[in-house]
Every structure is written in C-alpha cells, then in structure tokens.
Amino acid sequence: EAWPAQLPVFVRISAVDCPVLILHGTQDDIVHPFHGEELYLRCPNPVTPLFIDGGGHCDLATYFAYYLRLYQFIHYDLPCAS
C-alpha cells in the first residue's frame, strides 16, 4: 500500500474495539488532516469525528466545539454512558 497506509497507527487501529473519537484540525501543519480522515475510515468502531475548521496541531482546546464534542463522546457515545 501507499505510504500513509504503512504507518503503524493505520495498521493497529483495526485491533481497537472500543469507541474511537477522531479530533483533528483542518489547518494542522504537522499531521495532515488526511491522516485523521483515513484513520476514521479504517477504525472498526468510530464515532462521529470532529474536524475543527481552522484548527491547528496544538490549539484544538481553544475551540468550544472541542469541548462540546468531548462531552458528547463521554456522555453519549461510550457504552457506559447509556
């Protein structure tokens, strides 16, 4: 497969059986947003991801959407939440 598919995280994600939340900034200049999208597609048990428009690599915690999505994940997406 092509380079991104060879990254260990893309191979190992198939073994993760708990719910997975992908959080990624669209302006991340360290890890391209494509990687977050690809990880989401390969994940066996993903929940709705959050791609923060304008978010970078280390500033997602400055966006309200980040906290809202984490709250939703903890209180609604996790099996123990129901």
* Core vs surface per residue 25-54: b (16+ CB within 10 A) or e: beebeeeeeebbebbbebbeebbebbbbee
Report the C-alpha gap between 45 and 62 in whole angstroms: 27
Find the mean pLDDT for residues 33-62.
96
pLDDT in tens, 52-82: 999 999 999 999 999 999 999 999 999 886 6
- The kind and range of the H/E element at 67 are helix 64-72
pLDDT of residue 15: 92
